[in-house]
Amino acid sequence: MPPPSDDESLWASAPWTATQPLNNAQRPIIPGLQKHVPYVPGSTTLQTLTIYIPGTQPPPLPTPSPTPSDSTWILFIHGGAWRDPLVDASAFHPAATSLLLKNNNHNGNPIAGLVSINYRLSSHPNHPSSNPAHAAHHPDHIHDVLGAISFLQRARVATGRYVLAGHSCGATLAFQAVMDPTRWGLSGEMQIRKPQVVVGLNGLYDLAGFIKTPPVGYEGLREAYEEFTRGAFGDGEETWRAVCPATAREWVGEWVGEWEGERRKAVLVQSGEDGLVPRGQLEGMRGVLEREGVDVVEMEAGGGHDEMWERGEGRMAEVLWEVVLGTE
């Protein structure tokens, strides 16, 4: 027998286990399976992803089975300002269990599967660490996200229409992922099939603009923004503009895919009660996307910055469910 390929060994290195709702033993087990998979050989602790599939039967090993064309994958990128070691792929778990439950109770099971992506983080001044996974600098974060998507697509996950969603800096990363990867110094092998729908939740889209002129009410955050921006992207203001989707030059034409003539869609969500991200971030992003011919839908949300993902019944699961039903 030939030795397994790197990818096969990575998929085989984690078992499928039954999904459980968090902190609520009274509820039934959600009919789904999850697996924590490293997506590069010799991965650091953060080059892993969590994959959830509906149902109780694992797909054929080592990789998930091909997706029926009428069901949708959702890929999620967590936030935490590129550096918060307390926020990781598990941020998606409450929404994932809620989505699996909705899927189970709905005719036709529109969700093919869900993925939450970990990526290397920059260092955090309040959390000193010797873990190499916590010493990343741009473009490491987006390299990892694209590496994860490419690993999935080699296993025929999210190769058709799929939804790429991100919260906060995860929304920045989601839009960076639809740009040409050569912007990040990557060769053609990191070309991914692009999502038809990008969902940005309380997203960061213009760091230079915030730092230069923080909006009224958010002035007190200027230093924090500058600190995490320098930590992730270095000291060059030009770089900040070049990497942020509301200020990067002419990138929307790079968002192309094979959706048979259908239009690109962006769903933007910004809570009016978010004490960390002002509404102006969404407005700048919306302007750029609409000028370039992307269909933009804005959906409502309330609550603090992280509230939409902290609970299963939170707004994020509802938004993603609506988006999935809209892609059918």
Ligand X SMILES: N[C@@H](CC(=O)c1ccccc1NC=O)C(=O)O
* DSSP strands (E only) in 78-184: 111-117, 162-167
Say how many residues make up the chain: 328
Least Å from the CB of residue 222 to ligand X: 11
Task: Give whichever of 157 and 174 is closer to ligand X, judged by the CB atom.
Answer: 174
Least Å from the CB of residue 120 to ligand X: 15
Strand order in the sheet with 265-269: 17-18, 32-38, 48-54, 111-117, 72-77, 162-167, 197-201, 265-269, 295-299
Residue found under tokens 């978010």: 274
Task: Give whichever of 10 and 81 is closer to ligand X, judged by the CB atom.
Answer: 81
Binding site for ligand X (CB under 6 A): 79-81, 83-84, 124, 168-169, 204, 221, 224, 228, 276-277
Q: Which residue is nearest to ligand X (CB)?
A: 168
Phi-psi region of 279 (alpha: psi -120 to 50; beta: other; left: phi over 0): alpha
* Coil, strand or helix at 186: coil
CA of 123: how far to CAs of 8, 85, 91, 232, in Å? 32, 9, 19, 8
Quick check: 256 and 217 in contact, CB under 8 A?
A: no
Task: Give whichever of 37 and 81 is closer to ligand X, judged by the CB atom.
Answer: 81
**Catalytic annotation, residues:** 168, 274, 305
Task: Give whichever of 281 and 327 is closer to ligand X, judged by the CB atom.
Answer: 281
- How many helices (H) and strands (E) in the chain? 10, 9
